[in-house]
Chain A
């Protein structure tokens, strides 16, 4: 008899807690960021395809499915470290098969040489090139991610990748940088 009572009591308790948990699971559901979005947020969004995937989001999906995290040269080591933190894996050095880490660049069209073929416009993953057929094209510099994809399709090779110029507002304090100028004492 006591066994039956115990079973009933525990059965009822289990039912009650089950209901509470079930209700809590629905009522207090936490919408977590899907892992692909989190990875995508870390990637530099240059959409350059150096990783072998057609853009940052496809690479994020590939990482979520177990691909290596060291295929992103524009992101460099800091991106690899952040990805390693997120995915709980060892940080590795950048896979040089996909390219080397480089300074940030921006595409510039030598406008007098442009023949207006629109090939670069079609190649640009972020629509940062403006122009029309047989009209001169130009790069919207602040939208350019420096992905390099427009250089190859250009039939007249009029696109240069130039390093982003250092201006006073994006200049980095360098500890030893302040040059000490020697002023001629004859003056």
Chain B
């Protein structure tokens, strides 16, 4: 065992550069147990709630569906299915606003609930070790599980990569202020999370899991400590409070001292990370056959009367969720999906809760001041001090403003995790992360256009080649036809038939004779004229 591995085993906690300590404000929402939310009248289910292609529709308008019934299937483009959150009829399938910072529409399935909340029969599993890896992965995929931590990457796809693994890391850090969904889940369902972790270990073919919890969650830590004695494969790691220690790359650095290579994945250095919520969902899917139809959502901020954590069915409109929690909006109320650091302001409250929604934040204007006008950069360098990826935010900002995309790539823009620490400390209120996101999107667009242009060029060249070939073929056909005609004539002549060539020759001779006669007549006339 190498020195580094020994240190990991001994529970050494490394550190990562930068980071900030914003006010945590988790006490607003983490005091009460996770409460179930009353059923809404209507649910809006975007067909794409994960990163990747959407699944193929299985239902039509007017169909009656039960809770847990699959609405889209994996299909040809390897999408992730979504399931009906409750029983009811499909009222519409069409464009609707989705939970995306753009506020744009995408395909949304609208379900009108019948209030009976009838579930499809579940298929529980007594011993998951009897199933093959592929069957377990299918079970996870068919349950529609995507990473519940925020990125929404399909879990089965992440586990499907068969590479040697040193550790599975279960991320219960939840470092973003205000959010306490994972905290409450860990306190109340530690055993299920442990079951899920063991299933994940089994599928990944990994020996050991590290469960990371931030030091500001003593109850969750206690809940796991009480249970972990019986699970030697699992070890608890308490990480110090700092934002963004819950970031995938930062947590890996904290627990193992390893760095994920630029543009690489944790699996490149023998690690894979899953959120505690994902581990919980995996346990539910594998052991009970329960698809992902609800998740814990933190509703918090000073402008809700009943902040806390709720079991919210996917597809529940944010407006309904807030109404249940005593929403008291102020003028120009902002509603943020996600936390104050990485979340985005919702364009419309009819947006539904989706798989990656961990928090709805309703701040008063005192607690979270609206964005001020951007001022000039004073080159204080505070942003570079707090950048956990050790980038140069100031430099990136100049380059992004100048649209110098080559320069941005040289400065490793794509290593930016968009944690928002730089924008948080910026005294000039520069929305730095916005600049990076815009530049990233622009660079991706350029790459996409480039790829498209390449295809267009190939198609154009293929077409030119085809036209040229067709022309050659046509000429060849004409040549062959002419030859065949000549040959047929020659044969006909040989057999004693009329030679069309003779006729031509005769015609030429006739024409010549006529011309000669005309010339002679003209000469004669001239002569006569002269004589006269």
B240 within 8 A of A: no
B225 within 8 A of A: no
By a CB distance below 8 angstroms, the chain B residues around A187 are 327, 329
Q: CB distance B454 to A45 under 8 Å?
A: yes
By a CB distance below 8 angstroms, the chain A residues around B449 are 44
By a CB distance below 8 angstroms, the chain B residues around A184 are 329
A70 within 8 A of B: no
Shortest beta-carbon distance, B301 to chain A, in Å? 13
By a CB distance below 8 angstroms, the chain A residues around B344 are 178
B463 within 8 A of A: yes
Q: B445's contact among A145, A170, A185, by CB below 8 Å, is which?
A: A170
Q: Mark B436-455, 1 if CB is under 8 A from A, else 0.
A: 01100110010011001111
Q: CB distance A166 to B330 under 8 Å?
A: no
Cα–Cα, bound, A57→B465 (Å): 13
Q: CB distance B348 to A181 under 8 Å?
A: yes
A143 within 8 A of B: yes
Q: CB distance B463 to A180 under 8 Å?
A: no
Q: CB distance B98 to A181 under 8 Å?
A: no
Q: A175's contact among B333, B431, B454, by CB below 8 Å, is which?
A: B431
Q: CB distance A126 to B349 under 8 Å?
A: no
Q: CB distance A55 to B460 under 8 Å?
A: yes
Q: A143's contact among B348, B459, B461, by CB below 8 Å, is which?
A: B459
B346 within 8 A of A: yes
B218 within 8 A of A: no
A168 within 8 A of B: yes
Q: CB distance B442 to A172 under 8 Å?
A: yes
Cα–Cα, bound, A126→B460 (Å): 5
By a CB distance below 8 angstroms, the chain A residues around B327 are 187
SS class of chain A's interface: helix, strand, loop or mixed? loop
- Decide yes or no: A127 and B345 within 8 Å by CB, A174-B438, A182-B331 being known contacts: no
By a CB distance below 8 angstroms, the chain B residues around A43 are 453
Q: CB distance B456 to A167 under 8 Å?
A: no
By a CB distance below 8 angstroms, the chain A residues around B448 are 170
Shortest beta-carbon distance, A98 to chain B, in Å? 19
By a CB distance below 8 angstroms, the chain A residues around B480 are none
Q: CB distance B346 to A45 under 8 Å?
A: no
- Decide yes or no: A185 and B459 within 8 Å by CB, A171-B441, A173-B438, A175-B435 being known contacts: no
Best-surrounded residue of A55, A125, A179, A187 (most CB of chain B within 10 A): A187
Q: B455's contact among A44, A143, A183, by CB below 8 Å, is which?
A: A143
- Give residues of chain B (279-333) contacting chain A, Cβ–Cβ below 8 Å: 327, 329-333
Shortest beta-carbon distance, A16 to chain B, in Å? 43
Q: CB distance B104 to A175 under 8 Å?
A: no
- Give residues of chain B (435-493) contacting chain A, Cβ–Cβ below 8 Å: 435, 437-438, 441-442, 445, 448-449, 452-457, 459-464
Cα–Cα, bound, A153→B490 (Å): 46
- Decide yes or no: A168 and B100 within 8 Å by CB, A125-B463, A180-B332 being known contacts: yes
Cα–Cα, bound, A175→B434 (Å): 6
- Chain A residues within 8 Å of chain B by Cβ, number: 34
Cα–Cα, bound, A183→B322 (Å): 12
Q: How large is the interface on B (under 10, 10 to 19, 20 to 34, 35 or more residues)?
A: 35 or more
Q: Mark B70-95, 1 if CB is under 8 A from A, else 0.
A: 00000000000000000000000000
Complex: chain A residue closest to B438, CB-CB:
A173
Complex: chain A residue closest to B374, CB-CB:
A175
- Decide yes or no: A178 and B345 within 8 Å by CB, A44-B453, A125-B460, A168-B104 being known contacts: yes
Q: CB distance B438 to A175 under 8 Å?
A: yes
Q: B331's contact among A128, A143, A175, A185, by CB below 8 Å, is which?
A: A185
Shortest beta-carbon distance, B80 to chain A, in Å? 16
Q: CB distance A126 to B345 under 8 Å?
A: no
Q: B457's contact among A40, A175, A182, A183, by CB below 8 Å, is which?
A: A40
By a CB distance below 8 angstroms, the chain B residues around A145 are 452, 456
Q: CB distance B445 to A167 under 8 Å?
A: no
By a CB distance below 8 angstroms, the chain A residues around B464 are 55
Q: CB distance B104 to A126 under 8 Å?
A: no
Shortest beta-carbon distance, A146 to chain B, in Å? 10
Cα–Cα, bound, A185→B328 (Å): 7
- Give residues of chain A (6-52) contacting chain B, Cβ–Cβ below 8 Å: 40, 43-47
A114 within 8 A of B: no
Q: CB distance B347 to A179 under 8 Å?
A: yes
By a CB distance below 8 angstroms, the chain B residues around A175 are 431, 434-435, 438
A107 within 8 A of B: no
A56 within 8 A of B: yes
By a CB distance below 8 angstroms, the chain A residues around B456 are 45-47, 126, 143, 145
Cα–Cα, bound, A171→B444 (Å): 11
Q: Mark A127-159, 1 if CB is under 8 A from B, else 0.
A: 110000000000000010100000000000000
Complex: chain A residue closest to B348, CB-CB:
A181
Shortest beta-carbon distance, A178 to chain B, in Å? 5
B103 within 8 A of A: yes
B208 within 8 A of A: no
Best-surrounded residue of B327, B333, B334 (most CB of chain A within 10 A): B333
B5 within 8 A of A: no
Cα–Cα, bound, A25→B532 (Å): 88
Cα–Cα, bound, A7→B328 (Å): 100
Complex: chain A residue closest to B445, CB-CB:
A170
Shortest beta-carbon distance, A41 to chain B, in Å? 8
B106 within 8 A of A: yes
Q: CB distance A167 to B431 under 8 Å?
A: no
Cα–Cα, bound, A57→B333 (Å): 55
Q: CB distance B102 to A181 under 8 Å?
A: no
Q: A177-B102, A184-B329 are in contact. List 18 more A-B contacts (CB 8 A).
A: A45-B453, A56-B457, A57-B457, A128-B459, A143-B459, A145-B452, A167-B104, A168-B98, A168-B106, A171-B100, A171-B102, A171-B104, A172-B441, A178-B345, A181-B335, A181-B349, A183-B329, A185-B330
A-B contact pairs, 6 of them (CB 8 A): A44-B449, A171-B100, A172-B441, A174-B438, A181-B346, A185-B329
What 7 pairs between A and B have smallest CB-CB spacing?
Answer: A45-B453, A45-B456, A126-B459, A173-B438, A171-B102, A183-B329, A173-B437
